[in-house]
Structure 1
């Protein structure tokens, strides 16, 4: 059966803070728009235990903030389609095609807000124990390790926050840090250092996880002495950075060597009418607030672009 072809003014790809904000602005401008998200709306912040740096909220969970932004977007008239997976795209200056499992869309403008996903731990046993002791979301899987010993790999804000969150369940949390310093807000660093359930292993790198059906231990190596040793634990949570979700667009959109999309300050890509917003684009700081800003600029730009086409 042939797929139905739909002409539309704007398609937003991705339902994180950047995409949802773009949806708010586009729908308020009465654009004929659709937001496509092939997973759960909210993006990475939905998995954040606590958000303390978003203006207007002293403290709010990532899930609550995601729900609030989604609710506002929908009340403004944004149309959101979850789980209709995009199969392929074609982005040209004079034509844009997005084919999903259900439809073929021909939008006049596109905003790419697909974000980034956690990098996989480059260790032996990662695939074998994925979901059975190797995890990338403490909010999702932390409750599995009530009164257990777990490890967190990473040295940024996300790793520190997730280690703190895991102390809610685990009796002990190791932070495995390959350097002797952390990146992130000093208040978060201090909170982790002063938590009696957390032990920080500086200058240690994780090489492997081992066990029978589930993880039982990790093999770590001191980055200064080269000495390897076993560390008894039952789970490892990885927070070693992110990688952009851009494979779908690589034949049409200019990217840097890491796969992040290049844009100008107006969020415009190398293809006319195609914008990028949020963590998916080349930028120095990746925060919820910067994603929201990107989404605003991209939506206003796409509105102007479509209006100019219609003149």
Structure 2
């Protein structure tokens, strides 16, 4: 899919920062309203959904891959006339008279309104060996990468709904799953906790924290050191791969001095996804109270587009 990379000096009706499901949906609706729309994406279009191998809960599809669904959204946005630029990292936004200046490392864009749909990033543990092994045995999406570990042993780190849900998903075809959680109790709902009992191939290590990851001679993950938080003793947990589910970090750093954020650094909004700055809206995982699901993200984009329409036609 060829994307327009050319920069220009015109003032767009709306500039959307972020090319995931929320941003692409906003673009589709904004262009249908005949608003001149620019979408800026730091990496690849599709956000976290793009790295999801299989989506089974998006209305209209019994099953569809994340890349295929995101490509369909991007194609629709482009067909309607959205200008899309990828590889663009927005560093700050500034209000100037009746429009906004959107600064990047190489260019400045102008828009009468802005929608921030920058999504979220998987949280990491920050332990020794983690960064070096991401993609080499350390993963953040079981539905994306779990198939590589059929009949093998894996470690799942985390204690929330996502950790237990993905852990049980992996247990369906992995030889063994070890779930490691730093607290004495899981934070997941009782429904998920009760379901664990049905799996004979899941071992649970509560009140244990991962302190390091270790690689084999080929640079592939082979084990983790975990510490008993009560006794302080450590042990080595060997496995073929590890999946980390310790939450998501909203991508809001460039807007911390401009917008009101929650304690968790999500953007606070009111009706029609309005922020505290008139003319700036937020949509998707980056917004406080949003549900981290693709179907929900498209709804977020619709709401933001209605906010844009109200603002531009005021």
TM-score for both structures, normalised by structure 1: 0.83
Residues 40 and 191 (structure 1), Cα distance of their counterparts in 2 relative to 1, 3 Å cut? farther
Residues 65 and 183 (structure 1), Cα distance of their counterparts in 2 relative to 1, 3 Å cut? farther
Residues of 2 paired with 1:229 and 1:143: CA distance?
27
For 1:181, the equivalent position in structure 2 comes to 186
Alpha carbons 1:49, 1:165 under 8 Å: kept = no
Q: What does 1:192-231 align with in structure 2 at a 5 Å threshold?
A: 194=198, 198-212=202-216, 213-224=219-230, 226-231=232-237
Alpha carbons 1:93, 1:271 under 8 Å: kept = no
Residues of 2 paired with 1:65 and 1:125: CA distance?
34
After TM superposition, give the deviation of residue 70 of structure 1 in Å: 2.8
Once the two structures are superposed, residues 224-246 of structure 1 have per-residue CA deviations (whole angstroms, 9 ceiling, x without a partner) of 55543211123322110011111
Alpha carbons 2:26, 2:301 under 8 Å: kept = yes
Q: What is the DSSP-based 3-state SS (H/G/I as helix, E as strand, rest coil) of the residue aligned with 1:127?
A: helix
For 1:255, the equivalent position in structure 2 comes to 261
For 2:301, the equivalent position in structure 1 comes to 295
After TM superposition, give the deviation of residue 13 of structure 1 in Å: 0.7
TM-score for both structures, normalised by structure 2: 0.83
1:241 aligns with 2:247: yes
Q: What is the DSSP-based 3-state SS (H/G/I as helix, E as strand, rest coil) of the residue aligned with 1:40?
A: coil
* Gap regions ≥5 residues in structure 1: none
Q: What does 1:1-311 align with in structure 2 at a 5 Å threshold?
A: 4-91=8-95, 94-100=98-104, 103-138=107-142, 141-142=145-146, 145=149, 148-163=152-167, 166=170, 170-179=174-183, 180-181=185-186, 183=188, 186=191, 194=198, 198-212=202-216, 213-224=219-230, 226-283=232-289, 285-308=291-314
Residues of 1 paired with 2:75 and 2:197: CA distance?
37
After TM superposition, give the deviation of residue 208 of structure 1 in Å: 1.7
Residues of 1 paired with 2:193 and 2:21: CA distance?
25
Give RMSD over aligned pairs.
3.0
Alpha carbons 2:113, 2:312 under 8 Å: kept = yes
Q: How many matched pairs? A: 305
